[in-house]
Amino acid sequence: MKSAEADLDRKFWAALAMFAILAVLVWLTMGDGSVPVFGRPVELKLIPLIVIGGMALRTVLARHAEKIRRGKDSL
C-alpha cells in the first residue's frame, strides 16, 4: 500500500513538472499577438496558459480527493 502511494506522489509531481515545462514552452515559443474576446484584446499566449493552468488545477484537486478517499487528512 505504501509503494502505491509513493507511486501516485511521484506521478503527481511529474505531471506538475510537465505542466510547468509546457507552460514555459508556450510562453517562449508563441509570438506576440492578440485576439478580441468579448470585445477586449487578449494576448494570444494567455489562452493556452489558462488551459494548462486549468489542467494543473484539476490534477491538484484530483490528488487531494484521492488522499481524502484513502483517509489521509494531512494534505
CB-CB contact of 52 with 26 (8 Å): yes
pLDDT value of position 35: 85
Distance between CA atoms of 42 and 5, rounded to whole angstroms? 41
pLDDT value of position 70: 82
75 residues of the chain, pLDDT tens digit each: 567 778 888 999 999 999 999 999 999 998 888 888 899 988 888 889 999 999 999 999 999 998 888 886 555
pLDDT value of position 26: 93
User: 485576439: which residue's cell?
Assistant: 35
pLDDT value of position 16: 96
pTM of the complete model beyond 0.95: no
